[in-house]
Amino acid sequence: MGAPRQTLLARLKVLAQRSRSSAYFVKRGPIDWAVFDFDVHHRAISILHAHGTFLPPDGMHRSVIALEAAARFESGAPSPEIDDELQDELIEDLEEIVYLLQREKDERTDTVAYNLGGGSVRGFHDTGLHVQGVTAEFTVSY
């Protein structure tokens, strides 16, 4: 399927598309939440290669990946608030995607991702857009 990084990102996209019974629109790259149509796709995940190595000893085989998951929160409220249940669901879905990534094999049955670590998550929201979400970052070797 190509370079190990490409294989990793492609598998990550497939896993994200399958998450929560295919509830997510998934894009390899940034999503402009200001114009994203949440009426068509209620949830979305953006897959970003935040940064990586390119010199020895790791070469181009270690990266920080960012997954950004977002959804629209209740827009009918006069003062919209974060929906904690929705926020927890977004985090759970990203956790499951990363968990499954660790078990993925390529066409030669080699592990696609290993040495996952450094995981962090932070929330974001925009009351003007009625959008809330989380960004999860993790380090991975491939």
Could you report the per-residue pLDDT of 81-108, keeping only the tens digit for each?
A: 888 999 999 999 999 999 999 888 877 7
Quote the pLDDT of residue 105.
80
Q: Which residue has the tokens 């294989």?
A: 7
Residue type, 2: G
Quote the pLDDT of residue 34.
93
Q: Are 46 and 31 in contact (CB under 8 A)?
A: yes
Q: Which residues of 48-82 are buried (b: 16+ CB within 10 A; e: fewer)?
A: beeebeeeeeeeebbbbbbbbbbbbbeeeeeebee
pTM of the model as a whole: 0.90
Please check the confidence at residue 1 and state whether its pLDDT lies above 50.
no
Please check the confidence at residue 47 and state whether its pLDDT lies above 90.
yes
Please check the confidence at residue 142 and state whether its pLDDT lies above 70.
yes
Q: What is the pLDDT averaged over residues 35-59?
A: 90
- Could you give the C-alpha distances from 30 to 26, 47, 57, 67, 79, in angstroms and in order? 10, 7, 29, 10, 28
Helix, strand or coil, per DSSP, at residue 75: coil
Q: Which domains does the chain have, with CATH numbers?
A: 4-141 (3.30.2000)
Quote the pLDDT of residue 77.
61
Q: What is the pLDDT averaged over residues 21-34?
A: 96
Average pLDDT score, the chain: 89
